């Protein structure tokens, strides 16, 4: 079992916000592969299914971004998972739009969802799928920017990015992070 956790804020009012691109990515994975319907579990909504030959639990915490770690930690502990079984999808200010990067470990870089995960899972060196949303230019504008909706002009690239992430998710399941990034980049260049 692996867990793919998307970070975001629950509810229709937050659905189109930049901060919710992690939820959007997990929703796209759910649509692309064979998954059960969403149901309430682990202080969020979860769905079990398969990506290729791997069994995956998709998770969208309902604890809001700043307390995401509580939900994710509950699922990790329930399944007694090893450190390499957790993948987290989230928005990254320090990456330009369209860019997708994968890494293990590192600091929170000011991201409250990652900070919460690190607090609740201090010994887990989980995989991070960082989805670039760009930076508004000044740190005083960050909060309004991440909690703002994507502009209509951005919706096509958002759909392309999350579609590529979902389509190539089997590489994450198999542990080939470099191939995942290469294939996502190739799809976005077409």
Query: Which positions are annotated as active-site residues?
Result: 19
Q: What is the DSSP letter of 186?
A: H
- Beta strands 54-61; 44-51: pairing state: antiparallel
The answer to whether 6 and 27 are in contact (CB under 8 A) is yes
Q: Which of 102, 123, 129, 113 is nearest to 4 (CA)?
A: 129
The answer to whether 35 and 83 are in contact (CB under 8 A) is no
Q: Give the DSSP H/E element, type plus range, for residue 59.
A: strand 54-61
């Amino acid at each position: 079992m692996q867990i793919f956790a998307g970070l975001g804020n629950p509810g229709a009012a937050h659905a189109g916000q930049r901060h919710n691109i992690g939820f959007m990515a997990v929703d796209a994975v759910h649509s692309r592969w064979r998954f059960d319907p969403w149901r309430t579990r682990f202080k969020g909504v979860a769905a079990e299914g398969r990506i290729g030959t791997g069994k995956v639990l998709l998770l969208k915490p309902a604890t809001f971004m700043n307390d995401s770690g509580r939900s994710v930690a509950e699922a990790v502990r329930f399944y007694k998972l090893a450190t390499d079984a957790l993948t987290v999808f989230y928005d990254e200010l320090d990456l330009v739009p369209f860019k997708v990067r994968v890494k293990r470990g590192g600091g929170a870089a000011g991201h409250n969802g990652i900070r919460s995960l690190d607090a609740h899972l201090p010994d887990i060196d989980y995989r991070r799928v960082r989805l670039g949303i760009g930076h508004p230019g000044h740190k005083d504008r960050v909060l309004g920017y991440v909690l703002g909706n994507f502009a209509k002009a951005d919706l096509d690239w958002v759909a392309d990015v999350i579609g590529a992430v979902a389509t190539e998710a089997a590489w994450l399941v198999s542990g080939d992070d470099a191939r995942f990034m290469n294939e996502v980049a190739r799809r976005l260049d077409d």
